[in-house]
Amino acid sequence: MTLPPNDICYRALKTRDPALDGRIFVAVTSTGIYCRPICPARTPKQANVRFYPSAAAAQEAGFRPCLRCRPEISPDAAAWRGTSNTVSRALALISEGLLDGESGVEALAERLGVGERQLRRLFDQHLGAPPIAVAQTRRILFAKQLIQDTQLSMTDIAAASGFGSVRRFNDAFRKLYRRAPSELRRRRSAPLSTTTLKLGYSAPYDWDAIVSFLGTRAIEGVELVENGRYMRTIEIDGAYGSVEVAPGRNHLVATIRFPKVRALLSIVARLRRLFDLDADVASIGAHLSSDAGLAPLVSKRPGLRTPGAWDGFELACRAIFGQQVTVTAARKLAGHLVVRAGVAVSADVTGDARLSKVFPNAAHVVATDLSTMPMPKARIAALIALAQAAKDDPRLLDPVGTFDEALERLLALPGFGPWTAQYWALRALRDSDAFPAADVALLRHPVVAEKGGRPTPKALLARAEAWRPWRAYAAQHLWTSDAEAAGG
């Protein structure tokens, strides 16, 4: 990643500019500490500061995190805002814990379909640190957040943040912070069955738009949007729980109810993708505003994000349900599937009796008779084929190889055409350039309308060429504007 010129970085530090929070980290040579650019501490002399593109790069250079501005709750301590899909997919896999066990960089490179040397070069270019350093920084900063924001035991924190043992956790913490983990513990009363964390982002953030988008698609029993909060049931490796997300001040507040602490880091990573917390909306908005038609939409909603997905298989099912029907009809079809194949859970697990079902995994769908689903037989067959393929190959919907290769795997299944695959890539893969050009709402939007009627998908793709690499965000602006015009 290319940092802004040194003078601009220092000016941002002097003014505590939130626009660069998470994009640069400031290391002070006289103290050996690195900070966020918004740190309230006294501004050091320019001769004593260095700037890094990531927290991992600052720690790799020998600096330790500031205890005052807390880099662990910056918009993303390992944020990357470039255009390399390889780096983006690598960070997603790291956030899921791929490098927390015995797997090394070689295994990560193999999952991505690139050479190990090439992967290291890309990380050095974009993040200023190797993959292992990024993973280690992620672990230690997440542990620091759990220490200060929860009442989990040190043993649970070590497990939740991906350390193999408490001893390794203590050693790493003492080496970086020069004190024992317990010395940073804040005493507070909170139920041990829940974990509440702050999820940072770079403002602005259009919470109303994203919660409205999720709310209109919420599946009864699985999801609930109420009083500006989003809640849903979750399943990871056969364990069940729930998450609740609400807006805070320049952060979201996530309440996680889950029995396995080792899953916390993965849950947080999924929530960051679901709510698109790492988007650089200022850069995206500036690019899209060069289009005269999009400019008013961006100006109206400068903090608009593209909602992600909790689970790739779930979204693939929902994409099938959404073929050639309204959003309401698609949600009802998803509800029918949940009634037939979903797993029942109690209020003791979810914290709310209205959250009573978990969306079925591929094995549950395969084992369920779907012949009476109220939709065309071809679509039922597509759903069954998807579930069987996902059951046979658990990595079918993972970001293995390139985004194009992931789409090819979907397009090889019956019932998956370009619209379904592109919509899935936009939300499940977090592909910022995915664009379902055959979408009815996009084709009818006044911004893209042609004289005499709607453009063809081919014509729309030609128009959208100037929006690259942010076509997904352009689509989200058009969808949001269309829903507002329709009163939904």
Return the SS3 of 318: helix
CA–CA dist 207, 339 (Å, integer): 30
Could you tell me which residues come within 8 angstroms of residue 280 by beta carbon, excluding any fewer than 6 positions away? 23, 81, 202
CA–CA dist 199, 270 (Å, integer): 11
Q: What tokens were used for 295?
A: 């400019």
Q: Any catalytic annotation for residue 206?
A: no
Q: Any catalytic annotation for residue 439?
A: yes
CA–CA dist 403, 86 (Å, integer): 9
Q: What tokens were used for 381?
A: 């067959």
Amino acid at 181: P
CB atoms near residue 374 (< 10 Å): 9
Quote the crossing angle between the two packed helices 166-177 and 131-149, to the nearest 10°. Answer: 90
CB 370 within 8 Å of CB 360: no
From the list 9, 35, 66, 317, the catalytic residue is 35
Amino acid at 373: M
Pick from 239, 313, 240, 236: which is nearest to 267 by CA? 236
DSSP 197: E
From the list 311, 398, 433, 439, the catalytic residue is 439
The gap from C-alpha 451 to its chain's centroid, in whole angstroms, comes to: 39
CA–CA dist 238, 263 (Å, integer): 12
- Return the active site residues: 35, 439
